[in-house]
C-alpha cells in the first residue's frame, strides 16, 4: 500500500471503531483471511476452552493487527487487545500483542499437529497421535518421544523426523519471543533459524549485524534495532562498518550500481548512522584493510568504493573478454567461404544486417543491437546457419529460461540459459543433454537478450570462454538494464575496441505494427499514438484505485471475452510493486478472481502471499540444485499440489518438469498474475495490460521502462492511467549506473602494461 493510502485507512479505522475494554484471549488460528505486505493480518480464530474472556457467538472470531504477522493456521496464540465494532467489518478483536502458546485443549493439539507445522504429521496421523495420548500429546513428544512408536502409523524413521521437526519448531517459537522483545516481527524467526540453527538466539543477541549479510530480507535497520536494544553503542565501529556495507549492498540491489563514489558512500552511511563522518571514514579504512571493500582510483572521477566481490566480477569480465578478443579465431575456413559467397550472390539482407554477419564471423567478440522490427533475429539466424553449414558448432543462450525458449523457437535450434551454459559440473547441471559435448566448446556462442546480463552472470560467462571461439552478444540497449548490478551491454557499446553493429532499418512488415511504431517513438523520446487500434490503446483514468479496477477487469474479463483467449494469454505488467497499481495489490486481486480460496482446499501463506493449487508463479532466484538441471530466475510455472504434511509445494514448470519447494523456500517464488516490467524482460506475451500512474511519485517512470513494457506485447498492449504519467515516462531518461567495466575493458584491450597498471589504482 502507498503511504497516503495507509494513512487514509488508519484514519478511517479510528473514525469508525468503537473502543472497548482491553482483554487477553488464548486462541487457535483456524485460517488466515488476508496478510498485507506491512504484516497487518486478518485471521479467523477459535477461542480456547481455557480463555477467561467471553467468546463471540459460535466460539469463532476475527482477529486483526500487525502483531499477528507470521502466525500460521493450527497455532495456538495468546492475544492481547480490545474488541472493536467496525461499521463495515462488524465485531473483531484488534490485536496489540501476540505470543505463541502451547495448545491446551485436545482439539487445539489436534489442529496444531495437523496443520503441517511439524513435518511428518498430517491430519490422519495427528488424529491417531492425539487419540493415543490425549491432552498429554505434546508432553509425550517433548519428554518421551520414543512412545510415538506406540502409534500404529509411526515407525522409527517417521518418529525421528517428527522429533527433529518438533525440536526445530520449538526453537523457532522461542526465537519469535526473543525477536518480539526487540520489537521485531516473528516472520524473521524461520529465516534466521534456517541460516544459523541452534546458534540463532546467540547470534541475534551477540552479533546481530551478521543477520544483514546472511538472512535475506533483514537489512541494517532491523539488525540495528536489535543491536541498539542489546546495548551496542551508537558510535560502535562494528555498527559503522555494518552501515557502510549496507549502503554498498543497497546501491547494488536497488539502483544497480557496481560502486559508489567515496563522497556519496560517506554521506549515505552518515545519514543512516546519525554519527560523525570521521567514524564512517575509519569504518571504510578498516573494511579496506580487511579486504572486504576495494577503493579504486582508476574508475570514474575520484575514488570508487566497491564491495570486494563486485570489484572482482568487473575485473573478470574485462579480463575474460579482452583475452578472447586478443586470441586468434578458430572459425572454420568453410564458414568464411560461405560468407564470401553470401556477400557476392543475391540475398535479401539489409546492408546493416550483412555488416553484422561479417562482424560476428570475423571478430571473436562482437555486439549486435537494435530495436524491434529491425531484423536482429533474422540476422542471428543467418549467422548461425552459415556456421553450421560450414561444419562449425553453434551454442545459443539467453539469461532467462523464457528468453532461451523464445530464442529456440525463433531459430529452430536448442537454446539454454547462460546459467546452465557456465555452470560448474559439480552443480550437477547436464548441459550436454542439449548438445553432444560441452556447449562452451563452440565455434560461435550467441547470447540473446544481453541487456539482461548483470556483471555477476557476465563474469561467469567470461571466465568460461574458450580461446578462439566467437562470442556474439545480441540485445536492445534501450531496454531496461539488468535486475542485478551492472550494465554490461551498454558498457561494451562504449568500448571502441569491441566491434558492434546497430540495426536501425525497420522492415516494412514490422513498420505496419502499431506496437513497433510506438516503441520507436518512445525510444526517441516522442509521445506514442495513443489509440492506434488494434495493437495499442490507452485508457484515461486519473484515480489509482480506479486504474487498478480497470486493469483487473480488462485482464480477467474484457480481453478473454473479446478475443476468445485463455487468461494465460494476458499478462499484467506494473512499473512498481507497491500501491494500488503495484504488482502485489493487482496480483492479489487477480488471484482472488481467477483462483479464490475454497473451504477445505489446501493453501499455504508465506509472508503476505497465499499459494493455492492452480496459481501462476515465477522463480526469482537461481537454484542450481533444484529439478533435473536447475531452476533459474524467470522460470514460470503452475502450482499443482500443496502437501501440509511434507511441508512442500509442487510446481509444474514451463519445461514440463515437476519441481518441489519446501515451505521454507517459497521466498524464491512470486505469483505471476501481475509482474514487474523488469521481470518481464526476455519474455513476450500475446496481450499486455499495464497501469501507468504517478502513485509512487513517478520515480520509476522512465523511458526505458515504458519502452521495455510496450515491446513485451506481441498482439496488443493496453495502458491504463494518467496522461501526465505517460508523458513523464516518455520524457525522462534513465538514471545512469555507476560501473567501471568500460574503463577496465579499454585498459585491458590496451595490452599487458595497461592491465598491470590496474593494481596501481587501488588504495
| Binding site residue list for ATP | 373-377
Sign (positive/negative) of CA torsion 610, 612, 615, 618?
positive
Q: Which residue has the cell 534456517?
A: 194
For residues 457-480, one letter each, b for 16 or more C-beta atoms within 10 angstroms of the residue's C-beta and e for the rest, the string is bbbbbbebbeeebbbbbbbbbbbb
Residues 750, 739: Cα–Cα separation, whole Å = 19
Q: Report residue 574 as a C-alpha cell.
A: 506494473
Cβ atoms of residues 305 and 293 within 8 Å: yes
The binding site consists of 373-377
Please spell the DSSP secondary structure of 470-510, one letter per residue: EEEEEE-TTS---SSS--HHHHHTT-TTS-EEEE-PPPHHH
Residues 459, 450: Cα–Cα separation, whole Å = 13
**Cβ contacts of residue 143 below 8 Å, gap of 6+?**
none
Q: Is 91 helix (H, G, I), strand (E, B) or coil?
A: strand
Residues 463, 317: Cα–Cα separation, whole Å = 7
Residues 59, 665: Cα–Cα separation, whole Å = 35
Among candidate residues 22, 19, 117, the one with its CA nearest the CA of residue 79: 22
Q: How many CB atoms lie within 10 A of CB 290?
A: 10
**Cβ contacts of residue 401 below 8 Å, gap of 6+?**
417, 632, 634, 635, 636, 653, 654, 655
For residues 190-203, one letter each, b for 16 or more C-beta atoms within 10 angstroms of the residue's C-beta and e for the rest, the string is bbbbbbbeeebbeb
Q: Report residue 546 as a C-alpha cell.
A: 480506479
Amino acid at each position: 500500500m502507498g503511504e497516503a493510502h495507509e494513512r487514509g485507512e488508519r484514519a478511517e479505522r479510528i473514525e469508525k471503531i468503537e473502543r472497548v475494554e482491553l482483554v487477553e484471549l488464548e486462541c487457535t488460528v483456524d485460517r488466515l483471511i488476508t496478510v498485507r505486505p506491512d504484516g497487518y493480518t486478518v485471521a479467523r480464530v477459535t477461542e480456547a476452552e481455557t480463555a477467561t474472556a467471553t467468546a463471540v457467538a459460535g466460539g469463532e472470531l476475527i482477529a486483526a493487527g500487525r502483531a499477528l504477522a507470521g502466525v500460521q493456521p493450527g497455532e495456538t496464540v495468546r492475544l492481547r487487545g480490545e474488541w472493536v465494532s467496525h461499521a463495515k467489518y462488524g465485531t473483531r478483536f484488534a490485536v496489540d500483542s501476540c505470543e505463541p502458546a502451547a495448545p491446551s485443549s485436545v482439539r487445539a493439539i489436534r489442529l496444531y499437529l495437523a496443520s503441517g507445522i511439524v513435518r511428518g504429521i498430517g491430519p490422519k496421523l495427528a488424529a491417531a497421535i492425539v487419540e493415543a495420548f490425549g491432552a498429554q500429546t505434546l508432553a509425550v513428544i517433548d519428554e518421551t518421544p520414543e512412545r510415538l512408536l506406540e502409534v500404529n502409523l509411526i515407525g522409527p524413521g517417521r518418529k525421528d523426523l517428527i522429533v527433529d521437526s518438533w525440536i526445530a519448531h520449538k526453537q523457532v517459537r522461542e526465537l519469535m519471543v526473543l525477536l518480539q522483545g526487540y520489537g521485531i516481527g516473528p516472520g524473521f524467526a524461520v529465516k534466521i533459524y534456517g541460516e544459523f540453527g541452534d546458534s540463532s538466539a546467540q547470534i541475534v543477541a551477540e552479533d546481530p549485524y551478521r543477520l544483514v549479510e546472511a538472512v535475506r530480507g533483514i537489512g541494517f535497520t532491523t539488525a540495528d534495532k536489535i543491536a541498539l536494544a542489546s546495548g551496542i553503542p551508537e558510535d560502535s565501529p562494528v555498527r559503522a562498518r555494518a552501515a557502510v556495507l549496507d549502503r554498498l549492498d543497497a546501491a547494488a540491489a536497488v539502483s544497480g550500481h557496481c560502486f559508489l563514489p567515496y563522497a556519496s558512500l560517506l554521506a549515505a552511511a552518515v545519514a543512516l548512522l546519525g554519527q560523525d563522518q570521521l567514524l564512517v571514514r575509519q569504518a571504510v579504512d578498516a573494511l579496506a584493510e580487511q579486504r572486504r571493500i576495494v577503493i579504486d582510483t582508476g574508475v570514474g572521477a575520484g575514488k570508487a568504493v566497491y564491495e570486494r566481490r563486485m570489484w572482482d566480477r568487473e575485473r573478470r569480465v574485462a579480463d575474460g573478454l579482452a583475452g578472447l578478443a586478443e586470441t586468434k579465431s578458430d572459425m572454420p575456413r568453410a564458414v568464411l567461404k560461405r560468407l564470401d559467397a553470401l556477400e557476392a550472390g543475391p540475398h535479401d539482407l539489409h546492408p546493416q544486417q550483412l555488416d553484422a554477419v561479417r562482424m560476428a564471423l570475423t571478430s571473436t567478440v562482437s555486439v549486435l543491437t537494435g530495436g524491434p522490427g529491425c531484423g536482429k533475429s533474422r540476422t542471428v539466424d543467418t549467422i548461425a546457419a552459415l556456421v553450421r553449414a560450414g561444419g562449425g558448432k553453434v551454442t545459443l543462450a539467453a539469461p532467462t529460461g523464457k528468453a532461451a525458449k523464445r530464442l529456440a523457437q525463433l531459430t529452430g535450434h536448442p537454446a539454454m540459459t547462460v546459467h546452465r551454459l557456465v555452470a560448474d559440473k559439480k552443480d550437477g547441471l547436464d548441459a550436454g543433454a542439449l548438445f553432444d559435448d560441452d556447449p562452451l566448446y563452440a565455434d560461435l556462442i550467441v547470447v540473446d537478450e544481453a541487456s539482461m546480463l548483470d556483471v555477476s552472470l557476465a563474469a561467469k560467462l567470461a571466465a568460461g570462454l574458450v580461446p578462439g571461439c566467437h562470442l556474439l552478444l545480441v540485445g536492445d540497449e534501450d531496454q531496461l538494464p539488468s535486475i542485478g548490478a551492472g550494465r554490461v551491454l551498454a558498457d561494451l557499446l562504449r568500448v571502441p575496441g569491441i566491434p558492434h553493429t546497430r540495426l536501425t532499418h525497420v522492415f516494412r512488415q514490422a513498420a505496419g505494427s502499431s506496437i513497433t511504431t510506438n516503441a520507436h517513438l518512445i525510444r526517441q523520446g516522442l509521445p506514442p499514438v495513443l489509440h492506434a487500434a488494434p495493437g495499442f490503446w490507452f485508457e484515461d483514468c486519473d484515480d489509482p484505485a480506479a486504474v487498478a479496477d480497470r486493469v483487473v477487469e480488462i485482464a480477467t474479463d474484457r480481453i478473454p471475452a473479446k478475443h476468445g483467449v485463455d487468461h494465460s494469454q494476458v499478462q499484467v505488467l506494473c512499473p512498481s510493486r507497491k500501491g494500488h497499481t503495484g504488482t502485489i495489490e493487482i496480483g492479489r486481486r487477480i488471484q482472488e478472481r481467477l483462483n479464490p480460496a475454497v473451504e477445505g482446499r489446501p493453501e499455504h501463506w508465506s509472508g503476505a502471499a497465499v499459494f493455492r493449487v492452480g496459481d501462476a508463479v515465477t522463480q526469482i532466484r537461481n537454484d542450481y540444485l533444484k529439478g533435473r538441471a536447475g531452476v533459474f530466475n524467470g522460470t514460470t510455472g503452475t502450482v499443482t499440489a500443496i502437501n501440509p504434511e511434507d511441508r512442500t509445494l509442487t510446481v509444474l514448470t514451463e519445461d514440463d518438469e515437476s519441481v518441489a519447494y519446501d515451505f521454507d523456500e517459497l521466498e524464491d517464488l512470486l505469483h505471476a498474475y501481475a509482474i514487474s516490467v523488469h521481470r518481464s524482460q526476455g519474455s513476450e506475451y500475446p496481450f499486455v495490460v499495464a497501469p501507468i500512474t504517478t502513485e509512487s511519485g513517478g520515480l520509476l517512470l522512465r523511458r526505458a521502462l515504458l519502452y521495455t513494457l510496450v515491446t513485451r506485447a506481441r498482439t496488443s498492449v493496453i495502458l491504463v492511467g494518467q496522461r501526465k504519467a505517460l508523458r513523464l515516462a516518455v520524457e525522462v531518461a534513465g538514471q545512469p549506473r555507476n560501473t567501471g567495466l568500460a574503463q577496465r575493458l579499454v585498459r585491458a584491450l590496451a595490452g599487458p602494461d595497461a592491465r598491470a597498471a590496474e593494481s596501481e589504482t587501488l588504495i
